[in-house]
Structure 1
Amino acid sequence: MNQVLIVSDSHGLTEEINRIKRRHHVNEMIHCGDSELDFDSDELSGFRKVAGNCDFDLKFPNEEVITIEGLTFFVTHGHLHNVKSNVMNLSYRAQEVGANVICFGHTHIAGAEQVDQQLFVNPGSIRLPRNRPEKTYAIMEWESSNEIIVNFYTAEGEKVHEMTYHASL
């Protein structure tokens, strides 16, 4: 089983990130920006990470393209793609780089949605959630692209069952 931990918008939290990292044993970890930490901080070690609008360390790239066990991920914060309006710009950019999984943050609104052959995942925020009371992050798991599950967890590690999303790319 392949598993990717996805967090975003932690806005300066450190202990919470460390607890989440210790709690899960996954293949990869992604931080979708607005960590407000230094790129080389201990808390972010092991994460693939991108710059958010509140990240000022110039070492952060604006986007990453990562291939993990047959799936290509496009990772960005979202502020440069106007994600508070819609995800069309994200979709176009993901097509340009050949990605079928899009991980982003910025809105602080947790959710997953498949549109055609693209899966959009926003893990929400472990500091300042919007639209739901839970501070969240996500774990995406799959054995094949035909059966992808995105689970959402509270910052305390409790699964938010009603948010589980199933996809097939």
Structure 2
Amino acid sequence: MIAGVISDSHGNTMAVKKAIEKAPFVDIWLHAGDYVQDAAYLEKMVTVPVIKVAGNGDWNNTAIPEDKFFVLENKKIWLTHGHKYQVKWGIDYLSELAGRNRADIVIFGHSHVYCEKYEKNRLFLNPGSISLPRDGKEGSFAILELYGDKNLFQVNRYTI
């Protein structure tokens, strides 16, 4: 299974469209918040499922949860924006909670900085901001390839 991972689009639907154009081969899209309106736009533009969570910039969208847990290819995934878990200062708190929740992969945003870290047999992935990067790079998103039969996964960063 191939998942497109996007976060922190902040109303820039052109950036979302560019990500779609660069990754027409995905089986599912994951949007880690800020703005869920952009995730709704993504849902209209693609024919695959979109899983989304709300971020701190989505304060008026209380119908959308801030955290979702689900399984893809035998991996328990925790999708969150991260603003409640101090991710701008590292992943320590997120890692502690991931352990309690037995998450294999944690996808988050909020910092606008790309992060791909393996800790305690878990992947922590922040695709960076698609529209407002803070790491001196271009806007980015990630492709997460899950190989359930081999219990493996691979991550690639794409810029727009």
For residues 38 and 125 of structure 1, what CA distance do their matches in structure 2 show? 13
Q: Normalising by structure 1, what TM-score?
A: 0.82
**1:127 is the counterpart of 2:131:** yes
Offset, 1:109? 0.4
**1:64 is the counterpart of 2:68:** yes
In structure 2, list runs of 5 or more residues that go unmatched.
none
In structure 1, list runs of 5 or more residues that go unmatched.
156-169
Q: What is the one-letter code of the residue matched to 2:157? A: F
Q: Which residue of 2 aligns with 1:27?
A: 27
Give the alignment's Cα RMSD to 1 decimal. 1.9
For residues 119 and 63 of structure 1, what CA distance do their matches in structure 2 show? 17
Contact 1:38/1:57 (CA < 8 Å) preserved in 2? Answer: no
Q: Of the candidates 31, 40, 57, which is equivalent to residue 54 of structure 1?
A: 57
Q: Secondary structure at the match of 2:109?
A: coil
**1:37 is the counterpart of 2:37:** yes
Q: Name segments (4+ residues, structure 1) moved above 4 Å.
A: none
Q: What is the one-letter code of the residue matched to 1:97? A: N
Q: Of the candidates 141, 150, 153, which is equivalent to residue 148 of structure 1?
A: 153
Q: What is the one-letter code of the residue matched to 1:21? A: I
Higher percent of residues as helix: 2
Q: Share of identical aligned residues, percent?
A: 34
Q: Which residue of 2 aligns with 1:164?
A: none
For residues 36 and 99 of structure 1, what CA distance do their matches in structure 2 show? 23
Which one scores higher on RCO, CA 8 angstroms, separation ≥ 6?
2
Q: Normalising by structure 2, what TM-score?
A: 0.86
Contact 1:13/1:35 (CA < 8 Å) preserved in 2? Answer: no
Aligned length: 153
Cα deviation 1:29-82 (Å, max 9, x = unaligned): 11001025277x333453211111101211210100010011111010011001
